[in-house]
Amino acid sequence: MVRYKSTGNLELLSDLYQRYMELVYGVCLKYMENTDDAKDAVINIFEELITKLQKHDVQNFRPWLHQLSKNHCLMILRKKKSQPVQVDESFMQSGENMHLADVEDKEQNLVHLEDCISKLVAEQKHSIELFYLKGKCYKEIADETGLEIGKIKSFIQNGRRNLRICMDKKIMERADS
């Protein structure tokens, strides 16, 4: 690792990475939906490693690589979540895949969620929107808002708790009516 950082020789990095590739693949397989996605992530992590290892002072490579792999996979999953969902409208003709009541329940839940989000404290609302709806990581939110990462984590955690309480209350109200 030290020789790679001083020379930038990719063969040295490749040799080092080969030793831990099974670890990285295992982490990726745990988080990704299929083996192809996990294999792609392993390759992407190696490419990421080329620059990140030059920037960071790594004392213990194995745990650092494990965390890097985990974060990489979580970012991929978060980006997938934030992408718009393609709706197959064929279910509307057949009625086999979804019942109208289910669609109405989901729409009602979305209306309630929007209402609950609007009732959050401004910092919680903004942090929740950036993290969940726009798929930004803590650092990106910190850069955009100028807030400390600890504060952002707190706003997100408290915002989620407040959303859960509000949504539970809305569900109870709907069940009572």
Tens digits of per-residue pLDDT, 146-169? Answer: 999 889 888 988 888 988 888 888
Report the pLDDT value the prediction gives residue 28, as an integer from 0 to 100: 94
CATH of the domain at 60: 1.10.1740
Number of helices (H), then strands (E), in the chain: 9, 0
Task: Evaluate whether residue 92 is within a structural domain.
Answer: no
When pLDDT is averaged across residues 21-44 and rounded to a whole number, the result is 91
Same domain, 73 and 109: no
Q: Please, are residues 32 and 38 in contact by the beta-carbon 8 Å criterion?
A: yes
CA-atom Rg of the chain in angstroms: 22
Distance of alpha carbon 129 from its chain centroid, rounded? 13
Number of domains in the chain: 2
Same domain, 172 and 109: yes
Same domain, 136 and 103: yes
Same domain, 73 and 104: no
Which of these, 157, 165, 170, 164, lies nearest to 124 by C-alpha position?
157
User: Own/partner pairs for 88-97, CB < 8 Å, 24+ apart?
Assistant: none
Distance of alpha carbon 47 from its chain centroid, rounded? 20
Same domain, 13 and 39: yes
In three-state secondary structure terms, 107 is: helix
Q: Which residues of 134-169 are buried (b: 16+ CB within 10 A; e: fewer)?
A: ebbbbeebbeeeebeeeebeebbebbbebbeebeee
CATH of the domain at 150: 1.10.10.10
Predicted TM-score (pTM) above 0.85: no
Who wins on pLDDT, 115 or 95? 115
Same domain, 102 and 170: yes
Same domain, 159 and 105: yes
When pLDDT is averaged across residues 91-110 and rounded to a whole number, the result is 59
Residue 22: pLDDT band by 50, 70, 90 thresholds? very high
Backbone angles phi, psi at 102, to 5 degrees: -65, -40
Per the structure, the complete domain to which residue 135 belongs is given by 98-176
Residue 92: pLDDT band by 50, 70, 90 thresholds? very low
Task: Evaluate whether residue 146 is within a structural domain.
Answer: yes
Cα-based distances in Å from 135 to 23, 25, 38, 138: 27, 24, 20, 10
Same domain, 142 and 170: yes
